[in-house]
Structure 1
């Protein structure tokens, strides 16, 4: 078993992310993982990401608060507001943009392949 305490989880940064505090909690520099890594992000009001796509799928689970997710794949564009314990999958090659439009911070769990 590998335990990561949130107060010991290492912060990380990613391009196109603003108003966010991100910590890797499993995988990569946070410890061993065979297939995925996990991160927790606190997205401040008004914070979020630019619209970008990646070659791997991503899973988001809202732990607390509210998060607007806009996804675009080809001609299809969809926006959803996720509340506590709602989740979504972003497919490989699908553009996604995250935005906290609420007045309170939003906590989000991210799960991605190790690729």
Structure 2
């Protein structure tokens, strides 16, 4: 078993993420996972990412606040425990358009 305690989770830098603090909970340098990694991002009010695609699918689950996810085709605002899946190659941008902090869990293949 490999445990990551939240208080000991290591931050990581994500390119084109603005006013966000990201923590690695599982996978990559945190633990030896075979297929996925899990990250937790805290978004300050006004935080956002660029509209960018990835070669792998992504799953987002909102843990606190509201996070708006924009693709080239649609925009949706997710709240507590709402989730979405983005297909490989589907560009996305995340933003916190509120005056309160938000947190989102990210799961994606290694």
Displacement of 1:71 in angstroms is: 1.2
- Structure 2 gap segments, 5+ residues each: none
**2:96 pairs with 1:100:** yes
Displacement of 1:91 in angstroms is: 0.6
- Bigger share in strand: 1
Aligned Cα root-mean-square deviation (Å): 0.6
Could you say which residue in structure 2 is the equivalent of 1:63? Answer: 63
Structure 1 distance, partners of 2:48, 2:108, is 18
Could you say which residue in structure 2 is the equivalent of 1:79? Answer: 75
Deviations 1:55-75 (Å, cap 9, x if unpaired)? Answer: 000000000100000012xxx
- Structure 1 gap segments, 5+ residues each: none
Aligned residue runs from structure 1 range 42-61, under 5 A = 42-61=42-61
Structure 1 segments of 4 or more deviating over 6 A? none
